[in-house]
């Protein structure tokens, strides 16, 4: 019988965030690396994996695009290299290299030997390099990263049918999505070591029984021996034994009078897993978990059995100079502003965000809709492209769930943003063959998400005027709507009425909780008009107000997320002034527009930011 906690098809090893303790070591290789563009694709043949011929300095993590003029629109291969010593105290341990995010395709060499490859720009990958290391001189790591917009990738490059919102908008560099194709090593590259037998993965699932919090934990370990062994689980003053069979063990802990995790009280319990040999602890791993449940009942979304409403935004990992890379000052400021404005949620539009962002969300009580990078899918493209994209979506979904399954802040998985199956925005009917192809595709993704994680609802975000059939497969209906912007321009009241009408139609059609995961208008800061006109601060504020009013009268609406939290960089095109999407309620440097103050009043924002 297949255990649903350890399904086939998950990444070969676990993706636990590496940590330092008395049994394991961690060395962050962030800092200055050598960097070289490789437009002639000669690096592999020329042996750049051991030394770059004409390197320039680059920080890791960082996107390469905002740093050098010739790198701005460059999406081909580029090389990163760094020398490192392995601390002598690590000898006798297993050593791993973990790349947090290489956007999009990566090949990795250590000491000139190819050790791994990875596709997909926003999720970590790990390779053991114990055998490749030297201890008496520095080691070299070289990583080749390229971000070509190829049609079989996810997100796809433009296929024969164009694609996505950006396909309609046009733009340079050509993408199928409306954000800048930042490239490079976007998160830390770390070395870590473990004992020979080590904890490889931990899955903690929580439920509530009366006032007890129940935590079911499954541990995967890699043993140097026969795959048997002992261990323990500890949570507060509770303890349970783990007895491993073929590297796996499970146990359940029951927390009496549990303090449940919620935005109002984001209480975390540290859970420690240990391995033991002959009564001696040989490895340990600690993670913070939240005791909570999420479920859909009828047309309601429930957190800990009570209806919950998501107030918040779609966001981007986007900031000047650092591009899409981990930027901790940005994250700390963004969480402060989420609190200031009274939001309790965001969606990781349109790709998984950094692990640090997820840890902060756990700690601060922010509800996250966690999305794979499936943006810009077009089901009018040939079936072989759809098949290639499905394989990539499945891989990224598995990696995302492996990485983020233990975060209480993740309340929903989202498998795609605005897939297309024909004309948009009511300009024509969906194409039946495309709708059919999408149904097969999303049935598979939904099934995989539920199989890997039966504890969280799953959604798909639909585009205005796109096929509605796909929503029927999912637990929550999520829609992006721009009545009053892309349609009904300049007519706020008419737009809000059309929006309200569609909400009622969708509710009648599906009877499921409904979330509006995008609504907004481009807004140039400092531009004003009364009566409101498109692009002004008043127009944005009134547009958002109209949508919020319509939703407030409809108890089946479980969330309203404004597009966007902050202005962000896009490609260049006629509808993106200065290469920017201006739908932020904060500017790119996080100053509030009029709408931010309106939302704060409405959402009861607290604190001084
Ligand atoms: C959308 C997309 C988002 C775009 C936004 C816009 O529907 O999901 O990625 O940025 O519209 O501003 O056009």
Cβ-contact 23, 281 below 8 angstroms? yes
- pLDDT greater than 70 at residue 10: no
- pLDDT greater than 80 at residue 1: no
| 105-110 and 189-194 beta bridge pairing | unpaired
pLDDT digits (tens, 9 = 90+) for 13-58: 899 999 999 999 999 999 999 999 999 999 999 999 999 999 999 9
Residue 480 alpha carbon, nearest atom of ligand 1: 7
Residue 486 alpha carbon, nearest atom of ligand 1: 13
Measured distance CA(461)–CA(454) in Å, rounded: 20
Q: Which residues pair with 254 in a beta bridge?
A: 214
- Residue 517 CB: number of other CB atoms within 10 A? 32
Q: Whose CA is nearest to atom 10 of ligand 1?
A: 178
Q: Is 41 marked active-site? A: no
- Mean pLDDT, residues 336-361: 98
Determine whether the shortest distance from the Cβ of 518 to ligand 1 is under 6 A.
yes
Determine whether the shortest distance from the Cβ of 563 to ligand 1 is under 6 A.
yes
CA of 165 to the centre of ligand 1 (A): 7
Determine whether the shortest distance from the Cβ of 583 to ligand 1 is under 6 A.
yes
Q: To 5 degrees, how large is the angle CA 348–CA 202–CA 417?
A: 20
Determine whether the shortest distance from the Cβ of 581 to ligand 1 is under 6 A.
yes
Cβ-contact 5, 250 below 8 angstroms? yes
Who wins on pLDDT, 512 or 161?
512
- pLDDT greater than 80 at residue 128: yes
CA of 603 to the centre of ligand 1 (A): 23
Q: Whose CA is nearest to atom 9 of ligand 1?
A: 178
198-289 is classed CATH 2.60.40.10: yes
Determine whether the shortest distance from the Cβ of 486 to ligand 1 is under 6 A.
no
- Please tell me whether the peptide bond between 439 and the residue prior to it is cis, using omega within 30 degrees of 0: no
pLDDT digits (tens, 9 = 90+) for 549-599: 999 999 999 999 999 999 999 999 999 999 999 999 999 999 999 999 999
Cβ-contact 310, 367 below 8 angstroms? yes
For 597, residues 6+ apart whose C-beta sits below 8 A from its C-beta are: none
Q: Whose CA is nearest to atom 6 of ligand 1?
A: 178
Determine whether the shortest distance from the Cβ of 178 to ligand 1 is under 6 A.
yes
Q: What is the largest CA-CA distance in the chain?
A: 78
- Mean pLDDT, residues 200-205: 98
CA of 59 to the centre of ligand 1 (A): 30
Determine whether the shortest distance from the Cβ of 522 to ligand 1 is under 6 A.
no
Which candidate in 248, 371, 418, 448 is catalytic? Answer: 418
Q: Is 306 marked active-site? A: no
Tell how far CA 346 is from the center of its chain.
Answer: 11
Measured distance CA(265)–CA(267) in Å, rounded: 6
Determine whether the shortest distance from the Cβ of 480 to ligand 1 is under 6 A.
yes
Identify which of 480, 483, 522 to mutate to test ligand 1's pocket (most ligand atoms within 8 A of the CB): 480
Determine whether the shortest distance from the Cβ of 274 to ligand 1 is under 6 A.
no
Buried-exposed string 390-404: b where 16+ CB fall within 10 A, e elsewhere: bebbbbbbbbbbbbb
Whole-model pTM? 0.96
Determine whether the shortest distance from the Cβ of 399 to ligand 1 is under 6 A.
no
Which CATH number is associated with domain 294-603? 3.20.20.80
Identify which of 169, 372, 418 to mutate to test ligand 1's pocket (most ligand atoms within 8 A of the CB): 418
What are 516's two structure tokens?
């509006």
- Residue 67 CB: number of other CB atoms within 10 A? 18
Among the listed residues 549, 603, 591, 601, the one whose alpha carbon sits nearest the alpha carbon of residue 342: 603
Determine whether the shortest distance from the Cβ of 283 to ligand 1 is under 6 A.
no
pLDDT digits (tens, 9 = 90+) for 94-119: 999 999 999 999 999 999 999 999 99
Determine whether the shortest distance from the Cβ of 165 to ligand 1 is under 6 A.
yes
| 410-417 and 458-462 beta bridge pairing | parallel
Q: Where are the domains of the chain?
A: 25-147+182-194, 198-289, 294-603
Residue 581 alpha carbon, nearest atom of ligand 1: 12
Tell how far CA 510 is from the center of its chain.
Answer: 27
pLDDT at 223: 79
Helix (H/G/I), strand (E/B), else coil: 281:
strand
pLDDT band per the 50, 70, 90 thresholds, residue 2: very low
pLDDT digits (tens, 9 = 90+) for 414-441: 999 999 998 888 888 899 999 999 999 9
pLDDT at 4: 35
Helix axes 432-452, 383-404, angle to 10 degrees: 20
CA of 178 to the centre of ligand 1 (A): 6
CA of 312 to the centre of ligand 1 (A): 16
- pLDDT greater than 70 at residue 330: yes
pLDDT at 96: 97
What are 250's two structure tokens?
């499970």
- Mean pLDDT, residues 243-262: 96
pLDDT at 165: 57
Residue 520 alpha carbon, nearest atom of ligand 1: 12
pLDDT, mean over the chain: 95
Q: Whose CA is nearest to atom 3 of ligand 1?
A: 178
| 514-518 and 557-563 beta bridge pairing | parallel
Cβ-contact 324, 352 below 8 angstroms? no
Determine whether the shortest distance from the Cβ of 374 to ligand 1 is under 6 A.
no
CA of 417 to the centre of ligand 1 (A): 9
pLDDT digits (tens, 9 = 90+) for 60-82: 999 999 999 999 999 999 999 99
Helix (H/G/I), strand (E/B), else coil: 90:
helix
- pLDDT greater than 50 at residue 467: yes
* Lowest model confidence (mean pLDDT) among 162-171, 186-195, 300-309, 435-444: 162-171
Among the listed residues 63, 50, 202, 76, the one whose alpha carbon sits nearest the alpha carbon of residue 122: 63
Among the listed residues 291, 306, 308, the one whose alpha carbon sits nearest the alpha carbon of residue 256: 291
Identify which of 180, 378, 518 to mutate to test ligand 1's pocket (most ligand atoms within 8 A of the CB): 518
CA of 36 to the centre of ligand 1 (A): 33
Determine whether the shortest distance from the Cβ of 417 to ligand 1 is under 6 A.
yes
Measured distance CA(162)–CA(424) in Å, rounded: 13
Superfamily of domain 25-147+182-194: Galactose-binding domain-like (2.60.120.260)
Helix (H/G/I), strand (E/B), else coil: 284:
strand
- Mean pLDDT, residues 441-449: 98
- 3-state secondary structure string, 457-500? CEEEEECCCCCCHHHHHCCEEEEECCECCCECCCCHHHHHHHHH
Q: Whose CA is nearest to atom 7 of ligand 1?
A: 480
45: left (phi over 0), alpha (psi -120 to 50) or beta: alpha
Cα–Cα distances in angstroms (integers) from residue 42 to residues 50, 115, 136, 249, in the given order: 14, 19, 31, 48
Q: Whose CA is nearest to atom 5 of ligand 1?
A: 178
pLDDT digits (tens, 9 = 90+) for 137-188: 999 999 999 999 999 999 999 878 765 555 556 689 999 999 999 999 999 9
Cβ-contact 453, 515 below 8 angstroms? no
Which candidate in 248, 380, 448, 518 is catalytic? Answer: 518
- Mean pLDDT, residues 221-250: 89
pLDDT band per the 50, 70, 90 thresholds, residue 224: low
Give one DSSP letter per residue of 132-168, joined into a string: G--SSS-EEEEEEEE----TTSSSPPPBTTB-HHHHH
Determine whether the shortest distance from the Cβ of 318 to ligand 1 is under 6 A.
no
- pLDDT greater than 80 at residue 219: yes
């Amino acid at each position: 019988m297949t255990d649903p906690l350890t399904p086939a098809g998950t990444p070969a090893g676990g993706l636990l965030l590496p940590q330092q303790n008395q049994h394991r070591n961690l060395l962050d290789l962030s800092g200055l690396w050598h960097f070289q563009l490789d437009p002639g694709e000669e690096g592999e043949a020329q042996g750049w994996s051991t030394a770059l011929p004409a390197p320039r300095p680059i920080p890791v993590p960082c996107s390469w695009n905002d740093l050098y003029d010739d790198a701005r629109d460059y999406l081909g291969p580029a090389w990163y290299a760094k020398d490192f010593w392995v601390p002598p105290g690590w000898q006798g341990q297993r050593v791993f290299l973990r790349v947090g995010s290489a956007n999009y395709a990566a090949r990795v060499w250590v000491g000139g030997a190819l050790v791994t490859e990875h596709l997909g720009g926003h999720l970590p990958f790990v390779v053991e390099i114990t055998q490749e290391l030297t201890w008496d001189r520095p080691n070299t790591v070289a990583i080749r990263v390229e971000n070509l917009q190829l049609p079989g990738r996810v997100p796809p490059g433009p296929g024969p049918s164009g694609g996505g919102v950006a396909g309609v908008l046009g733009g340079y560099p050509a993408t199928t999505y409306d954000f800048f194709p930042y490239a490079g090593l976007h998160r830390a590259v770390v070395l870590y070591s473990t004992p020979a037998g080590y904890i490889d993965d931990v899955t903690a699932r929580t439920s509530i029984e009366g006032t007890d919090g129940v935590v079911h934990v499954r541990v995967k370990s890699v043993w140097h021996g026969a795959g048997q062994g002992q261990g323990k689980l500890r949570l507060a003053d509770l303890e349970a034994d783990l007895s491993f069979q073929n590297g796996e063990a499970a146990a359940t802990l029951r927390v009496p009078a549990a303090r449940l995790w919620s935005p109002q009280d984001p209480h975390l319990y540290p859970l420690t897993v240990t391995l033991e040999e002959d009564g001696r602890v040989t490895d340990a791993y600690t993670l913070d978990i939240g005791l909570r449940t999420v479920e859909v009942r009828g047309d309601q979304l429930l957190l800990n059995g009570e209806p919950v409403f998501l107030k918040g935004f779609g966001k981007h990992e986007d900031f000047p100079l650092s591009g899409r890379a981990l930027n901790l000052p940005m994250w700390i400021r963004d969480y402060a502003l989420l609190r200031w404005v009274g939001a309790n949620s965001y969606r990781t539009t349109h790709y998984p965000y950094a692990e640090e962002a997820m840890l902060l969300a756990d700690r601060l009580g922010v509800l996250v809709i966690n999305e794979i990078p499936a943006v810009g899918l077009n089901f009018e493209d040939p079936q072989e492209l759809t098949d290639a994209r499905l394989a990539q979506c499945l891989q990224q979904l598995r990696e995302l769930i492996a990485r983020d399954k233990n975060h209480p802040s993740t309340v929903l998985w989202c498998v795609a943003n605005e897939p297309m199956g024909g004309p948009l925005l009511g300009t024509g009917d969906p194409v039946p063959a495309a709708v059919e192809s999408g149904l097969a595709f999303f049935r598979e993704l939904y099934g995989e998400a539920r199989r890997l994680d039966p504890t969280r609802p799953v959604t798909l975000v639909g585009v205005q005027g796109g096929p509605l059939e796909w929503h029927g497969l999912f637990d929550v209906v999520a829609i992006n709507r721009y009545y009053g912007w892309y349609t009904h321009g300049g007519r706020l009241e008419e737009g809000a009425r059309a929006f309200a009408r569609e909400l009622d139609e969708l509710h009648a059609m599906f009877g499921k909780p409904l979330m509006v995961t995008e609504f907004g208008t481009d807004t140039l800061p400092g531009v004003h008009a009364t009566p409101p006109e498109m692009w002004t601060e008043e127009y944005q504020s009134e547009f958002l107000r109209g949508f919020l009013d319509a939703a407030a009268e409809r108890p089946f609406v479980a969330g309203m997320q404004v597009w966007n939290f902050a202005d962000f960089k896009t490609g260049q095109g006629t509808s993106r002034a200065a290469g920017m999407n201006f739908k932020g309620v904060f500017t790119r440097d996080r100053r509030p527009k009029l709408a931010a103050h309106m939302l704060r009043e409405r959402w009861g924002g607290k604190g001084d930011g």
